Amino acid sequence: MAASSFQGNERYEFDCQILHHYLSGNGTINNQKLVDIFVHRSSFEFKLIRQTYAALYGQNVLHLFSNIQRNNPFARAAYLRMIEPQERDAEITRNSLFGGSVNLNTLIEIACTRPSSELQCIKQTYRSRYNSELEQDVTAKVRGGFKEILLAVLKSCRNCGGRVDMSMAMCDAKTLYEAVESGRTVDQKTIISLLSQRNSGQVKAILVSYKQLYGHEFCKSLKQSKCGQFGREVRIVIRCIQNPEKFFAKQLRMKNADAREILIRIVITRSEIDINDVNKAFASKTGSSIEKLVRRDFNNNSKDHKTNNIVADILIGLTKRS
């Protein structure tokens, strides 16, 4: 046991030396070793690397990368890989609310693609880091109908845990059907209430039950003209919960000014979760692959080609992890 522990420490000390050479500018930077670290280490191993770096150099390696990440895509990728997932998602959420104009796509991404148990941890971390409740900040910053829908999803994670109840799912599916079909207008209050009371796993079961009962997806019912803007907004959230890989693939296809940031964030946050499914969804719409997208967006023709090469190799490596 002692020998195994010592070998593990040596490994992380070597990783820290590689990182220190990059961050300090002293010594020869081994690009391939950098790539290997950020492709092959787990979240638990990054925790050990952070601890080892602090012991060796008396500095917080996360802070060092954070300080240079704004205009350095490698530092940004490194930071997102090394930080604890719930810390990362809390920070991404905070920036989407207070980083200028509100970024609804990013808010939806965090709220609707994370399992309820993870979302609960993100909310707790958000409260601890920013001394504020996420729901209160969403209430203050988000405008329009999306506010109530997002708040419902954020509240639903209080009900995380336990097995999926298929009998309840059948009853809830019937409730949704009545909310849309029984009147001349949509019963928005009932739909919002149900979304706020069922965790993500239970919502998925409701959607499966709905299709079994009525022969089509709930989202199809929401396309009726009487559903209006509310129906369009609920569809976005439902599809995100039901098929997160399609949501991420759509984000990658959008031509945004922050396309690189989105690409880095999606590949890193979905590696070891569903990046293969995201890649398939992306390919089905574009006939291409995330690897080709990475190579295009981080091509070698810029003045930062060395940094871009490292980022590209990390992202491509992560897309190939199963």
Q: CA 17 from chain center: how many Å?
A: 30
Q: Are residues 131 and 152 in the same domain?
A: yes
Question: pLDDT at residue 7 above 60?
Answer: no
Q: What is the pLDDT of residues 236-248, one digit of tens each?
A: 999 999 999 999 9
Contact 241, 203 (CB under 8 A): yes
Distance CA 320, CA 303 (A): 27
Winning range, highest mean pLDDT, from 26-35, 137-146, 299-308: 137-146
Residue type at 164? V
- What is the greatest pairwise CA distance in the chain? 72
Confidence of residue 1 (pLDDT cuts 50, 70, 90): very low
317 is annotated as contributing to ligand binding: no
Contact 157, 119 (CB under 8 A): yes
Please report, rounded to a whole number, the percentage of residues in the chain having pLDDT higher than 90: 84
Residue 249 lies in a domain: yes
Contact 321, 271 (CB under 8 A): yes
Distance CA 121, CA 144 (A): 27
297 is annotated as contributing to ligand binding: yes
27 is annotated as contributing to ligand binding: yes
Confidence of residue 257 (pLDDT cuts 50, 70, 90): confident
Q: What is the CATH number of the domain that holds 44?
A: 1.10.220
Confidence of residue 322 (pLDDT cuts 50, 70, 90): low
Residue 255 lies in a domain: yes
Count Cα neighbours of 271 within 13 Å in the Cβ-side half-sphere: 24
**Which pLDDT belongs to residue 5?**
45
CB atoms within 10 A of CB 36: 16
Residue 24 lies in a domain: yes
255 is annotated as contributing to ligand binding: yes
Question: pLDDT at residue 6 above 60?
Answer: no
Contact 243, 159 (CB under 8 A): no
Name, in order, each residue with C-beta under 8 angstroms of 102's C-beta and a sequence gap of 6 or more.
96, 141, 142, 143
Contact 147, 138 (CB under 8 A): yes
Q: What is the CATH number of the domain that holds 154?
A: 1.10.220.10
Confidence of residue 116 (pLDDT cuts 50, 70, 90): very high
pTM: 0.92
State how many domains the chain has: 4
Looking at residues 127-149, what average pLDDT do you find? 95
Contact 156, 172 (CB under 8 A): no
The domain boundary, picked from 118, 134, 159, lies at: 159
Q: Are residues 40 and 24 in the same domain?
A: yes
Range of the domain at 170: 166-226
Looking at residues 262-284, what average pLDDT do you find? 96
Confidence of residue 3 (pLDDT cuts 50, 70, 90): very low
Confidence of residue 300 (pLDDT cuts 50, 70, 90): low
Looking at residues 107-128, what average pLDDT do you find? 96
What is the number of residues in the chain? 322
